[in-house]
Structure 1
Amino acid sequence: MVWLRLVTSALVLVAIARPQLRGRSRDDWLVAAGFALSLGIMNWAIYQSFARIPLGIAVTIEFVGPLTLAVVGSRRARDLLWVGLAAVGVLLLGLEPADLSVAGVAFALLAGAAWAAYILLSASTGRRWPGLDGLAVASVLATVLMTVPAVLAGGSTLLDPRVLVIGALVGLLSSVVPYSCEMVALRSLAPSVFGILMSLEPAAAALAAIVVLHELLSPLQWLAVACVVVASGGATRSRPLHSEPAPD
């Protein structure tokens, strides 16, 4: 599934962006390669975690990465207040009893570290590459990185039309659209503020459980959702946007 997401992302973004590869510096390519590595590891690790522990708990643990980034990037007491409120929401989401495996938690933490790296490298890639060129290149590189493991794990299943269609849809909805929007957002948002805004993801995962898995939120989980929503809104309102010109 991770490979199918990346393939879909690579094909669509290359077709849309038609990245210009000539004249790129060595540093441009190193940043794009690092971005690709973080992209591949982030997706692979969180799916490994999903296979072992509940989705909501995995995403909650994964958020440790962006939250750490937000803490490191905070400079004022007010910033730390929003970070703390987001952290409270994440902790509340993680208080529900669940059977957790060490491997599942470890993969979620790895995904969180890759997520933090993804935020920083996405911002750097967006500054160095025009439009969606950098994201398209990184998606191609990440696809190449995951091809051999995907073939070994999936085999002939990767040629199943139903699997291909589902993979393409998931790729469009969870890779092409959000990654493109995030790269554009990181051209005007500080990574620390972006990291706090990502606190909406654990809440979104909990809400998705209602729709997809028919799991009702407990009062404690609703309180957690309120914490992360308020923290995200407060972080955005209290921090000025930093505006950097996009590459020509």
Structure 2
Amino acid sequence: MVGSGLSNQVGASVAALAFQVIGPVGVVTVRQWVAAGLLWAAGRPRLRSYTSAQWRPVLGLALVFATMNLSLYTAIDRIGLGLAVTLEFLGPLAVALAGSRRRTDALCALAAAGAVVVLARPSPSTDYLGIGLALLAAVCWGCYILLNRTVGRRLPGMEGSAAAAAVSGALYIPVGAVALWRNPPDPAALGCALAAGLLSSAVPFLADLLALRRVPAHFFGVFMSVNPVLAAVVGLVVLDQHLAPTSWAAVMVIVGANTVALTVSAPTVRNGRRTRAG
């Protein structure tokens, strides 16, 4: 699980090293193409056999893929890795809290909202566009969770994710052609973009499969809440991006809110039946 989280964040930091040459759009294009190729090989989707009921969530997931990575990488370019990933994690938190009437969840939501204000620190120099793009990535991640559930019910195995990645990669063909024509990549930038695709797609996917064979899925989900901390550490080590002490505190509050929300809603077994705790 640690390897999966670190690989994902190191991939994002390596991608940031190529921003000055080919920009976030160019990097995301290469990453989408790498992810599409890898997932297509693993899932082998049979597109011609899909019904309209199967295509609708796949197309929605493809649009989420395309928007989420571009908004996140552009946010990383503007406000830094640690802050962008922390704000993105509000998406899973919102899904975990949606529809809940528990007092604990309300406190988690208030704590996360206060932490966002601390992270943003409104001032004339605040990069509101970067913060907005990170929050857009959060919305996309929430939509990804909901759409992935639907895709998983309507399509077997990895077919849905592979098909969505393929469509997303196809959407980036004209975008990527223009971006890479305007900002031609040098070997170093292209290598960073390819490495980002592998580190943020292939390695976490394999590590997650291996981890989920050994730990309960819910514990895995709770552990994923530490990703903002990993992002802040990787941003410091690889990109020399320093967070203020108050920002570190806000990151920990959001991590804590995610952990509490997921733990309180953990499924438990009572009298042979699975129920919701809380």
Pick the TM interval, shorter chain.
0.7 to 0.9
From the superposition, tell whether residues 236 and 117 of structure 1 become closer, same or farther in structure 2 (CA, over 3 Å). closer
Equivalent residue number for residue 11 of structure 2:
none
Shift of 1:160: 4.7
Aligned partner (choices 106, 119, 123) of residue 149 of structure 2:
123
Partner of 2:172: 146
Output aligned runs, 1:143-182, within 5 Å.
Answer: 143-155=169-181, 160-178=186-204, 181=208
Structure 2 partner of 1:81: 107
**Is residue 67 of structure 2 the alignment partner of residue 41 of structure 1?**
yes
CA–CA separation in structure 1 for the residues paired with 2:131 and 2:80: 10
Task: Tell me how far apart the structure 2 counterparts of residues 198 and 169 of structure 1 sit (CA, whole Å).
Answer: 22
How much does 1:98 deviate?
8.9
Provide, for residues 4-59 of structure 1, a one-character-per-residue CA deviation record: whole Å limited to 9, x for no partner: 11111111111122223454321111111100001101111222333333343434
Match of 2:39 in 1: 13
How big is the shift at 1:143? 0.7
Distance 1:168 1:85 in 2: 38
- Give 1:82 shift: 3.1
TM-score, normalisation: structure 1: 0.76
Tell me the equivalent position of 1:221. 247
Deviations 1:177-207 (A, max 9, x none): 446849x98xx66xxxx6x877544433322
**Do structure 1's residue 30 and structure 2's residue 30 form an aligned pair?**
no
Distance in 2, matches of 1:177 and 1:123, equals 22
Between the aligned partners of 2:260 and 2:90, the Cα distance in structure 1 is 19
Contact 2:60–2:147 (Cα < 8 Å) also in 1: yes
Tell me the CA shift for residue 240 of structure 1.
Answer: 2.8
Structure 1 pair 230/109, CA: closer, same or farther in 2 (3 Å)? Answer: closer
Q: Is the 8 A contact 1:65 1:116 kept in 2?
A: yes
Tell me by how many angstroms 1:149 deviates.
1.1
Distance 1:221 1:103 in 2: 18
TM-score normalised by the chain length of structure 2: 0.69
Consecutive unaligned residues of structure 1, counting only runs of 5 or more, are: 243-248
234, 241, 245: which is aligned to 1:208? Answer: 234
Cα pair distance change 1:99/1:209, threshold 3 Å: farther
Question: Is the Cα contact below 8 Å between 1:36 and 1:141 reproduced in 2?
Answer: yes
Q: Does 1:72 align with 2:98?
A: yes
Take 1:213 and 1:165, find their aligned partners in 2: how far apart are those partners?
Answer: 17
Counterpart contact for 1:86–1:228, Cα < 8 Å: yes
More relative contact order, 1 or 2 (CA 8 Å, 6+ apart) = 2
Q: Does 1:103 align with 2:129?
A: yes
Cα displacement string for residues 192-225 of structure 1 (whole angstroms, at most 9, x for unaligned residues): xx6x877544433322222113344443234234
Q: What 5-or-longer segments of structure 2 have no aligned partner?
A: 1-26, 269-278
Distance apart, 1:170 and its partner CA: 0.6
Distance in 2 (CA, whole Å) between partners of 1:225 and 1:102 is 18
The alignment-based identity, stated in percent, is: 36
User: Does the 8 Å contact 1:53/1:99 carry over to 2?
Assistant: no
Q: 1:240 aligns with which of 233, 245, 266?
A: 266
Q: Is it true that 1:52 corresponds to 2:86 in the alignment? A: no
RMSD: 3.5
How many residues align? The count is 236
Q: Is the 8 A contact 1:151 1:158 kept in 2?
A: no
Distance verdict in 2 for CA 1:130–1:240, change over 3 Å = same
Deviations along 1:45-85, one digit per CA (max 9) or x if unpaired, are: 22233333334343444445444434424232223233333
* CA–CA distance in structure 1, aligned partners of residues 140 and 148 of structure 2: 12
Q: Distance in 2 between matches of 1:217 and 1:101?
A: 15
Contact 1:157 1:163 in 2 (8 A): no
- The equivalent position to 1:114 in structure 2, one of 124, 140, 144, is 140
